[in-house]
A and B are shown apart, each in its own frame.
Chain A
Amino acid sequence: MATQEMEQLVRREYKQGFVTDIESDTVPPGLDENTIAFISQKKGEPEWMLEWRLDAYRQWLKMTSPSWAHLDYPPIDYQAISYYSAPKKPEDRPQSLDEVDPKLLETYEKLGIPLHERAALAGVAVDAVFDSVSVTTTFKEKLGEAGVIFCSISEAIRDYPELIKQYLGTVVPKGDNYFAALNSAVFTDGSFVFVPEGVTCPMELSTYFRINAANTGQFERTLIICEKQAQVSYLEGCTAPMRDENQLHAAVVELVALEDAYIKYSTVQNWYPGDEDGKGGIYNFVTKRGDCRGDRSRISWTQVETGSAITWKYPSCVLRGKDSVGEFYSVAVTNNRQQADTGTKMIHIGENTRSTIVSKGISAGRANQSYRGLVKIGPRARNARNYTQCDSLLIGDQCGAHTYPYQEIGNSSATVEHEATTSKIGEDQLFYCRSRGISEEDAVNMIVNGFCKDVFQELPMEFAVEAEALLNVTLEGAVG
């Protein structure tokens, strides 16, 4: 499409609805091809990117929202969501993390780890996505010296179109599922990481996602590529303010690991979970997938999920390369009326591929939580191995914990083991702690943290502390 036609298309949308605020950086609620063209234009994207989005949108229109998860929520009105929102004037945008909403900082202060300090002291490079726009990326220069590209996906589309064309949508295709298709059509920002051959990224990379504006959805897109023998450790954190209405978050994360590459992706998700009665909270529908494309590559997902009203999330690994390794370590905590249907998929395609799944679910209040996992061993995956450990802890008699592990095994040399347990906190353990003078709440926290230890130790050090603190905050008032 020529630039001229592009302009026409954008102009056409003026007629059809983006009436008032086109000069400002918000769109009214609603979704059609014009909305997508608007987003694309706003981002200054090339024509091929718009085509890509529109193709995704057209696929999405033909799809239906999945209903197989153990989740109960009213139908989402996609026309009631605003698909683009940014602080109105450029000078209003936070220029540094210090200017980020103090409430966000407060949340982290409560956890004992101020965000700006963490960034500086821990040497973390942070890309903060504020609503739909990447606010700031720190440590760019230092990374640049190592040859690592770390920028917002919007910048990457402009500055590294060849890499985007080569990799975007190759792990999670546009039409992969309902929410991935929606994301592909309307994603507004996200992070891009490229670690060239042989380079070990000199620092932890990190993105903070924040939904701020009312009635907006957040659709970020993350793409991480590690070339041969490259390594990176990446962490995302998420928060949102308390609002009475539900907000939609539908992200896509794609990881590509070539030969001998190693990607470690950690998530501490603390989206607003809604109040005690289930009012408000984020609907979190996320597609995360890593592709171990090269031999001996390794992708490791670690997640601590304490937030969101609804979580629908299955970080997965496609183990294509020989001897490649996939890992999934998860702690999910649901309290009050939270619902989570989460787990992983390990698709073994190559020979000698190995995967490990450790999932710890804690359910309290009136929450319902499900582990849903798939281990698939293809006919060519000689000597593939999987080990799955999946434990649920129940606190209170009004919550639910469910386990749905699928195993599809088509190779006689495979070894697949799945173990799962569900139980409540041991009365004897609680009694023992309390007889030593520990309050019941502290005792629960201790026991729960012990229960989650196998996962916490997979987190980068400074975030393990945060995760423990988050867990305690989430379970506040769960006992007694």
Chain B
Amino acid sequence: MSEEQTFLDALKAREATRDVAEPTWIAARRQAASARFEAVGFPTKRNEAWKYTDVRAIARGDFALATDAEFSRASAAALTLPIEALRLTFVDGIFSAPLSDLSELPKGVTIEPLTEALEANHEAVGAVLGRLAGVDFSPFAALNTAFAEEGAVIRLAPGTVVEKPIILQFLSRAHEQPVMSHPRVLIEAGARSEATVLEHHVGEAEAANFTNLVSEALLERGAILTYYKLQEAPLGDLHISSLHVDQGRDSRFTSFNLNLGGALVRNDIVTDLNAEGAETQYYGLFYAQGRQHVDNHTLVNHNAPRTFSEENYKGILDDRARGVFNGKVIVKRDSQKIEANQNNANLLLSDRAEIDTKPELEIYADDVKCSHGATTGQLDEKAIYALRTRGIDEQTARGLLTLAFAGEVMEAVKLDAVAERVELAVAGKLPERFNLSGLVETAVALGEE
């Protein structure tokens, strides 16, 4: 049996158990998506977009679909970020009402689990869902479209400013047989609306599940959306996700893509800058150790003149971990007065770690200022010297500078709880030889006073 067949069978089995008929457009889409998936199959290294990432761990897996969303309140609390927020929680992809909190929902904001949004008005969802993330984007997007039942719909009426962050929390449980989930997120940000969304992946240490998330965000004129992804999935989890963003005039999108967990991680972020004045910023940080594999692919399409993009990704790799960065900027013909900058810097802490990086520019207009840089290398020897003159031994100096390396991305993070969590996690992951125990904790405590 082919690897794909296992998944197609799971899909059939799921459809057989469905007691209520779905709206026809959903059924039709599932069918088209599964046909697409069957036709293309799982990507292999021959596929340029998957050249460095081997997905056989997923393809050869045998994943069940979770049937409940049980999770003890106490253990969930321990994993939840200490942020006052509007929160939807999913356990192995299934919505958990008890672990969610939508009280004090401001006027003009709709936040619903996908299941409820479909029940309320499936046509309104269907009109937008899938517009940005077609089944031909990747085999995983097709697989998601074929399976997706759960997820979230966030709608901001024009002019709505949401102060509290909206958190989508994905909890992963440990099972005898690992499970898979295919959540789908849709964000519609009306004109001049403003919000922060945080997608948080975390779970039980022994979990080894497969998450295949697809998110779409539409930003109308002047909308401002800050999108955090804090991926602290259990170290056995397999994690594939794509985020598709469509930007209207003068809109601003900021992405923080922070990856610390997971055994196999692949993130795609695609932004289409469709009207003048639209601006997108990508920040990324990944830290991989052991045999973790983290692949970040980003794409910015400058489809209109006077659009701007900025990207800054940093990677730290230790042990036998492998990191991949592929950032692409495309400037379409006649998209003049473009500014696009892209940067990727990496540190390897071990000789068995590997980074494969490819910052790409494809430019079809001439009045542009585009640049990219990629560095992999060594810490600043001058800075090490300066620290040593203060009595700090060389290894500690290296530790401090490695922490600082990650810190350059984290400086832009506005959610303190996220910044602290990441900084502590990074400090905790650094090799023992760097000798930084307790340092970050003290700084955090000092900062909080």
In whole angstroms, how far apart are the Cα atoms of A421 and B370 in the complex? 6
Partner-contacting stretch, out of A55-63, A87-95, A151-159, A393-401: A393-401
Interface residues of chain A, those whose CB is within 8 Å of chain B, are: 68, 70, 379, 392, 394-424
Central interface residue in B354, B359, B361, B367, by most chain A CB within 10 Å: B361
In whole angstroms, how far apart are the Cα atoms of A423 and B368 in the complex? 5
Q: Tell me which residues across on chain B come within 8 A of A405, comparing CB atoms.
A: 358-360, 374
Does the CB pair B359–A420 fall under 8 Å? yes
Q: Tell me which residues across on chain A come within 8 A of B373, comparing CB atoms.
A: 417-420
Nearest A residue to B360 via CB reads A404
Does the CB pair B377–A414 fall under 8 Å? yes
Does the CB pair B369–A423 fall under 8 Å? yes
B79-121 to A contact mask, C-beta < 8 Å, 1/0: 0000000000000000000000000000000000000000000
Central interface residue in B358, B366, B372, by most chain A CB within 10 Å: B366
Nearest B residue to A399 via CB reads B366
B105 CB to nearest A CB, Å? 46
Q: What are 30 A-B pairs at a CB distance below 8 A?
A: A392-B361, A392-B363, A395-B366, A396-B366, A397-B333, A397-B336, A400-B362, A402-B360, A402-B362, A402-B363, A403-B359, A403-B360, A405-B374, A406-B356, A406-B358, A408-B354, A408-B355, A409-B348, A409-B376, A410-B351, A412-B350, A414-B377, A418-B373, A418-B374, A420-B372, A422-B371, A423-B369, A423-B370, A424-B366, A424-B367
In whole angstroms, how far apart are the Cα atoms of A383 and B262 in the complex? 30
Within 8 A of A (CB), among B330-369: 333-334, 336, 346, 348-369
Q: Tell me which residues across on chain A come within 8 A of B359, comparing CB atoms.
A: 403, 405, 418, 420
Interface of B, helix, strand, loop or mixed by DSSP: strand
Q: Tell me which residues across on chain B come within 8 A of A392, comparing CB atoms.
A: 361, 363
Q: Tell me which residues across on chain B come within 8 A of A395, comparing CB atoms.
A: 366
Within 8 A of A (CB), among B25-65: 48, 52
Nearest A residue to B367 via CB reads A424
Nearest B residue to A393 via CB reads B366
Does the CB pair A422–B376 fall under 8 Å? no
Nearest B residue to A412 via CB reads B348
B5, CB-defined interface residue at 8 Å: no
Nearest B residue to A383 via CB reads B378
Q: Tell me which residues across on chain A come within 8 A of B378, comparing CB atoms.
A: 413, 415
Does the CB pair B360–A414 fall under 8 Å? no
Does the CB pair B358–A404 fall under 8 Å? yes
Contact of A420 among B334, B353, B371, B377 (CB under 8 A): B371
Number of B residues with CB within 8 Å of any CB on chain A: 37
Q: Tell me which residues across on chain B come within 8 A of A398, comparing CB atoms.
A: 333
Q: Tell me which residues across on chain B come within 8 A of A421, comparing CB atoms.
A: 369-371
Does the CB pair B363–A400 fall under 8 Å? yes
B163 CB to nearest A CB, Å? 40
Nearest B residue to A404 via CB reads B360
Q: Tell me which residues across on chain A come within 8 A of B346, comparing CB atoms.
A: 409
B375, CB-defined interface residue at 8 Å: yes
Q: Tell me which residues across on chain A come within 8 A of B350, comparing CB atoms.
A: 412
In whole angstroms, how far apart are the Cα atoms of A345 and B107 in the complex? 58
Does the CB pair B366–A414 fall under 8 Å? no
Does the CB pair A403–B348 fall under 8 Å? no
Does the CB pair B376–A379 fall under 8 Å? no
In whole angstroms, how far apart are the Cα atoms of A412 and B346 in the complex? 10
Does the CB pair B363–A414 fall under 8 Å? no
A44 CB to nearest B CB, Å? 43
Given known pairs A407-B356, A418-B375, the reply for A397 and B361 (CB within 8 Å) is no
In whole angstroms, how far apart are the Cα atoms of A408 and B353 in the complex? 11
Given known pairs A396-B366, A423-B369, the reply for A403 and B355 (CB within 8 Å) is no
A250 CB to nearest B CB, Å? 24
Does the CB pair A379–B368 fall under 8 Å? no
Does the CB pair B375–A403 fall under 8 Å? no
In whole angstroms, how far apart are the Cα atoms of A400 and B329 in the complex? 13
In whole angstroms, how far apart are the Cα atoms of A404 and B364 in the complex? 15
Does the CB pair A416–B348 fall under 8 Å? no
Q: Tell me which residues across on chain B come within 8 A of A413, comparing CB atoms.
A: 351, 378
Does the CB pair A394–B360 fall under 8 Å? no
Q: Tell me which residues across on chain B come within 8 A of A422, comparing CB atoms.
A: 361, 363, 368-371
Does the CB pair B368–A394 fall under 8 Å? yes
Given known pairs A397-B366, A422-B368, the reply for A412 and B360 (CB within 8 Å) is no
B353 CB to nearest A CB, Å? 7
Contact of B375 among A70, A401, A417 (CB under 8 A): A417
Q: Tell me which residues across on chain A come within 8 A of B48, comparing CB atoms.
A: 68
**A399-B366, A409-B355, A424-B368 given. 12 additional CB < 8 A pairs?**
A392-B363, A394-B363, A401-B363, A403-B360, A406-B358, A409-B346, A409-B348, A412-B349, A414-B376, A419-B373, A422-B363, A422-B368
In whole angstroms, how far apart are the Cα atoms of A403 and B356 in the complex? 16
A335 CB to nearest B CB, Å? 13
Does the CB pair A416–B363 fall under 8 Å? no
Does the CB pair B361–A379 fall under 8 Å? no
